[in-house]
């Protein structure tokens, strides 16, 4: 199993590099939100590991977090289908509140564009997006994240929450599929 995994993936970002970047992102967020309460909405499933590490840093940086999740889907295997459907909405009341929307990766931009529109429709005063990874070459709609950890090339990546057909989410690092 481990042998098979080594054959199919190549390390792109190691644990230390990821954690160091998250600490800097949290410090950047704290410049805006220290001492404030922030509604943080993660897009499942890919965000779970990044979000868990990010909000622990945010705690140390003095941000109060009200956490919730939404589930949106568009992927089959390694290809985006182009349609984004809402599988599970968040239940937080965001009316008049700033929201931090968190995802693992900004790819075509459709997921985050859809999610931020939904949150604005629910009355959020402002929707700020934060992603660990950004593939600018893949953008299909005009959308940028205010906070992005690493810009990467157009390669399919796995690990640290990101999957290939449900596998590899548990990897503590990010790797490319060969
Ligand atoms: P978008 O709507 O195309 O921006 O896609 C965003 C979603 O697609 C992310 O939340 C991921 O779940 C998934 N995704 C995009 N690129 C990759 C990748 O390289 N590996 C794994 N999942 C990906
Ligand atoms: Mg996702």
Q: Whose Cα sits closest to atom 12 in ligand 1?
A: 46
103 has catalytic annotation:
no
Is-cis flag, bond preceding 45, omega within 30? yes
By mean pLDDT, which of 36-40, 78-82, 136-140 is the weakest?
78-82
Residue 118 neighbours by CB under 8 Å, 6+ apart: 70, 86, 89
Pull the structure tokens for residue 16. 């230390």
Give me 135's structure tokens: 């593939």
**Active-site option among 53, 103, 104, 107:** 107
State pLDDT tens for residues 101-135.
999 999 999 999 999 999 999 999 999 999 999 99
For residues 72 and 87, the answer to whether their CB atoms sit within 8 Å is yes
> 175 alpha carbon to ligand 2 midpoint, in Å?
16
The number of angstroms, rounded, from the C-alpha of 108 to the middle of its chain's C-alpha atoms is 13
pLDDT of res. 73: 84
């Amino acid at each position: 199993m481990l042998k098979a995994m080594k054959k199919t993936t190549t390390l792109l970002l190691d644990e230390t590099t990821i954690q160091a970047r998250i600490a800097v992102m949290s410090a950047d967020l704290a410049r805006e939100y220290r001492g404030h309460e922030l509604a943080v909405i993660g897009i499942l499933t890919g965000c779970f590991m990044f979000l868990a590490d990010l909000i622990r840093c945010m705690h140390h940086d003095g941000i109060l977090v009200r956490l919730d999740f939404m589930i949106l889907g568009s992927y089959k295997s390694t290809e985006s289908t182009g349609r984004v459907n809402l599988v599970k909405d968040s239940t937080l009341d965001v009316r008049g509140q700033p929201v931090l929307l968190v995802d693992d990766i900004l790819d075509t931009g459709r997921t985050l564009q859809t999610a931020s529109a939904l949150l604005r429709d629910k009355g959020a005063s402002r929707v700020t997006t934060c992603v660990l990874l950004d593939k600018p070459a893949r953008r299909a709609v005009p959308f940028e994240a205010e906070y992005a950890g690493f810009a990467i090339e157009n390669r399919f990546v796995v690990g640290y929450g990101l999957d290939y057909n449900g596998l590899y989410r548990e990897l503590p690092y990010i790797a490319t599929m060969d």
